[in-house]
Amino acid sequence: MTGFGSGVAPLGAGELAVEVRALNHRFLDVRVRLPNEIAEQTFFVEQFARERLDRGRYDIGARIQGPAMPPPQFDTERARAAYLALARLRDEVAPGTDLPLAAVLGLPGIVGPGPGLEPEIVQAALRMGLEAALKTLDEMRREEAAALRSHLRTHLGAARQCHQEVARRGTEVVGSYHTRLRDRVARLLVDVAVPIDVGRLENELAILADRCDITEELNRLTSHFDQVERLLDLDEPVGRRLDFLLQEIAREANTVGAKSQDAPLAHLVVELKAETERMREQVQNVL
């Protein structure tokens, strides 16, 4: 499930800001980008995050704010020697030209990084900032999960209503279909002097009517709906199970539609499939 979290921790005389962005992913994928000053702690952050996260893609970044790191070191003696050497070269090849002091600042060894903070101090700040960021991420995800659960319950309720209408209409259709078949056979044979095997006729009519019977499919749909309802009450990852159940619901709805010989019943099945597809689209957000 997508989300964003941020946290801040003190670091030296400044602070360290940590951000976490989460995206849907089948597996756990952690990507860390740290400032150059603390880039050696990348592996530490990745391992710390993996211990606390489930599947998904997580982009973790950090920024150093304020005078958190010691100032850079300036080698005065090396700079003086370099400037004098450049001055002699200037006097030899281009006498009289300006030689700004900045000319020596980009030379290797003149300005170097400060002594840096102890690794334990940096790790403590990263740990604190990341924990705060993950906490806000979890809060955002819980809010999103509550909204998603509400949407799924709404669509599930609509699907159950379609199911009830299909069951009611299906019972009427089977009886009327049986009656229409009997009447049609009677009309065809009214002018034909052919003896009718009543037992055989009833058997054939029963077979044809059975092909339109959707009782088993409706019972399985009820079971699937109940399982979806129970999964929505769980406080744990259920995306894959929900997706599987919704596939089964769609499969049963297709079977009901294939057996439908009645236009109103077919329309109800279309609406049931539409509600199922709406739920599947929502569930993709947690896969």
pTM score of the predicted model: 0.65
Which of these ranges, 40-54, 56-70, 71-85, 198-212, has the smallest mean pLDDT?
198-212
Instruction: Measure the CA–CA gap between 22 and 20, rounded to whole angstroms.
Output: 7
Which residue did the predictor score with more confidence, 208 or 44? 44
Which residue did the predictor score with more confidence, 43 or 79? 43
9-122-44-132 Cα dihedral, nearest 10 degrees: -10
Give backbone dihedrals phi and psi of 88, rounded to 5 degrees, phi first: -65, -40
Q: Is the dihedral of CA 127, 130, 134, 135 positive or negative?
A: positive
CATH 1.20.120 residue ranges in the chain?
A: 143-173+214-286
pLDDT at res. 212: 72
222-239 mean pLDDT: 90
85-92 mean pLDDT: 84
111: helix, strand or coil? strand
* Residues paired with 56 in a beta bridge: 28
The tokens describing 70, both together, are: 């010691």
Q: How far is CA 279 from CA 188, 230, 236, in A?
A: 48, 15, 18
Q: Is the pLDDT of residue 71 over 70?
A: no
pLDDT at res. 208: 65
Q: In b/e form, how buried is each residue of 265-277, taking b as 16+ CB within 10 angstroms?
A: bbebbebbbebbe
9-21 mean pLDDT: 90
Which residue did the predictor score with more confidence, 32 or 56? 32
68-82 mean pLDDT: 73
Which of these ranges, 100-104, 219-223, 264-268, has the smallest mean pLDDT?
100-104
What is the architecture of the domain spanning 3-69+117-141?
Answer: 2-Layer Sandwich (3.30)
CATH number 1.10.3230 given to 143-173+214-286: no
Q: Is the pLDDT of residue 37 over 60?
A: yes
Per residue in 162-173, pLDDT tens?
Answer: 999 998 887 777
CATH 3.30.230.10 residue ranges in the chain?
A: 3-69+117-141
pLDDT at res. 25: 81
Most confident of 188-192, 217-221, 283-287: 217-221
Instruction: Measure the CA–CA gap between 266 and 272, rounded to whole angstroms.
Output: 10
67-89 mean pLDDT: 77
Per residue in 90-136, pLDDT tens?
Answer: 888 888 788 887 777 777 777 655 556 788 989 999 999 999 999 99
Up-side HSE of residue 263: CA atoms within 13 Å toward CB?
Answer: 0
- Contacts of 244 by beta carbon, 8 Å cutoff, 6+ apart: none
The tokens describing 34, both together, are: 């740290």
pLDDT at res. 202: 64
